Structure 1
Amino acid sequence: MRAAAVSAVHLEMRDGYMLDDPVFDAWRADHSQVGVDDESGRGWRALVRDAVTRGVAVRRARIVSEPLSDYVRFEYDITAGHNARAGEEVRWLPRTRATGLALPGNDFWLFDGESLLVNHFSGSGDWTATEHVTEPDVVKLCATAFDAVWALAVPHADYRPR
Structure 2
Amino acid sequence: MSQNDVPEFDELLRAAQHSAVHLEMRDVYGVGDETADFERFTRTGVHPDADPATADWGGWVPLVKETVARGVVMRRARIVSEPVTDYIRFEHAGTTVNLAAGELVRWLPRRKASDIALPGNDFWIFDNKVVQFNHFTGAGDWATPKYSMSEDADVVKLCASAFEAVWERGIPHEQYTV
Relative to the length of structure 1, the TM-score reads: 0.93
What SS does the corresponding residue of 1:157 show, helix, strand or coil? helix
CA distance in 2, matches of 1:97, 1:33: 28
Q: Kindly, what percent of the aligned residue pairs are identical?
A: 51
Q: CA RMSD in A?
A: 1.3
CA distance in 2, matches of 1:6, 1:79: 22
Aligned 8 A contact 1:15 1:69 in 2: yes
CA distance in 1, matches of 2:101, 2:120: 28
Which of the residues 28, 32, 50 maps onto 2:42? 28
CA distance in 1, matches of 2:165, 2:18: 19
Q: Show the counterpart of 1:49.
A: 65
Task: Give CA-to-partner distance per residue, 1:30-63, whole Å, 9 cap, x none.
Answer: 1223244553423111111110000000000000
Report the more deviating stretch, 121-130 or 22-31. Answer: 22-31
Post-superposition offset of 1:6: 0.3
Post-superposition offset of 1:24: 1.4
CA distance in 1, matches of 2:31, 2:81: 17
Post-superposition offset of 1:160: 2.0
Task: Give CA-to-partner distance per residue, 1:58-115, whole Å, 9 cap, x none.
Answer: 00000000000000110111112x1101110000000010011111110000000001
Report the more deviating stretch, 92-101 or 17-26. Answer: 17-26
Task: Give CA-to-partner distance per residue, 1:7-34, whole Å, 9 cap, x none.
Answer: 0000000001116522212222212232
Number of residue-to-residue matches in the alignment: 160
Which amino acid in 2 is paired with 1:30?
T
Relative to the length of structure 2, the TM-score reads: 0.85
Which of the residues 51, 69, 74 maps onto 2:85? 69
Runs of 4+ in 1 over 3 A off after TM superposition: 35-40
CA distance in 1, matches of 2:67, 2:104: 13
Aligned 8 A contact 1:19 1:71 in 2: no
What are the ranges of 5 or more consecutive residues in structure 2 without an aligned counterpart?
1-12
Q: Show the counterpart of 2:19.
A: 7
